Amino acid sequence: MRAARSLPFGAGDPVVPPLVQSVAFAHGSAAEQDAIFANERPGYVYGRYGSPTTAALESALAELDAADGAVCFATGMAAIHAYFTGCALAAGGRVVAQEDPYGATRALLERLAREQAADVVFVDPTDASAVARALEERPTRVLYVESISNPLLRVTDVAALASLAHARGAKLAVDATFASPMLTRPRELGADVVIHSLTKYVNGHGDAMGGSVAGAGDVVAEMRERAIIDGGYLPPHEAWLILRGLRTLELRVRRQCETALAVARHLAAHPKVGRVHYPGLPSHPQHELASRQFGGAYGGVVSFALKSDTREAAFRFLDALEVVASATTLGDLYSEILYPAMSSHRRMDLAERARLGISDGFLRVSCGIEDPEDLVADLDRALELT
């Protein structure tokens, strides 16, 4: 794991209690208020335009992501939608996107292509020649990838993709949710924009949703405008909870990565498991890249397919779990399991889902901070019923 850095705030930072920020702020003269409404100076005039606590979170995220600024949204998907519509696809822009991202991200891009004739093409981000061809077909504004893909756990070479994109006049945007700022900071590797679902590792407690977009000043200004007009700005109470989560991010992620490696090794040797996806295993196609890019840690998520690769076997397995909770999220203190075919990738074309390897017996485990032996025992007990 990368060397830990001090988080960009201290325990004594003055953060306004969120419940007193909900509606409006009296702030100086009329001229000062006018400048704040115009985004020409900082200040607080209305909750949708900003709040002190959310601004504190944005400042912390900007520093963690080595960006000029960050804007927080109510959910990760709100952040992704704002970036695609505000920066990537606006005024006829074109997007080359990873073919196997989070299912809702792909569904959003497909919907934008279908309903608004957006120019979107999907590509395998681990195939540099395929990425180059896609970028060269037509002028492209954004190459969009995930640092670790959801749920196949492919690892993207951020530095190489940044060079490919920039040489062809495109920006590189990276959803770094699965890696979190503790494993990688994409802008330090050449990426232009970093996106997080704050709901996951950054919050880490399963009690608040949020998303963020961090980048250069022009991106921040456009995202701020989108948050104000579209109404997707992150409320202060959620920002306060996420700031609390940031304080333990390094401790949590370190433990989750250690547990995930142990779980992946165990599942890889289990007779009831057909295949395991985890960047920390030497069998993973991008293992060497992950070791270099993430500094010795490999993330807290393990994906695998049952030997009996069927929906029925998957349901029996899910129903038998006692320690691992069935949930559509990840990165929490407790371990969670997701069945992509039923939830995150339910809207994906069946043939495309099968081509990518998200089969009927494919499952995704987000490791928490429980005793790894308890977690392995729970998985073993459920596997016996498959």
Which residues are marked as active site?
A: 48, 102, 175, 200
- What's the CA gap between 296 and 291, in Å, rounded? 5
* Secondary structure element (H or E) that encloses residue 219, with its range: helix 217-230
Q: Which amino acid is at 41?
A: R
Closest CA to 304 of 361, 262, 367, 385: 361
User: What does the block give as tokens for 66?
Assistant: 């080595």
Token pair belonging to 144: 């969009």
3-state SS assignment for residue 148: strand
Q: CA 200, 13, 206: angle at the middle one, nearest 5?
A: 20
Pick from 293, 270, 145: nearest CA to 280: 293
331 and 299 in contact (C-beta within 8 Å)?
no
Q: Tell me the C-alpha distance between 249 and 40, whole Å.
A: 33
* Contact present, 297 and 180 (Cβ < 8 Å): no
All residues at 6 or more sequence positions from 171 whose CB lies less than 8 Å from its CB, including other chains: 141, 142, 143, 165, 192, 193
Beta bridge partners of 194: 174, 214
Q: In one letter, which amino acid is 164? A: L
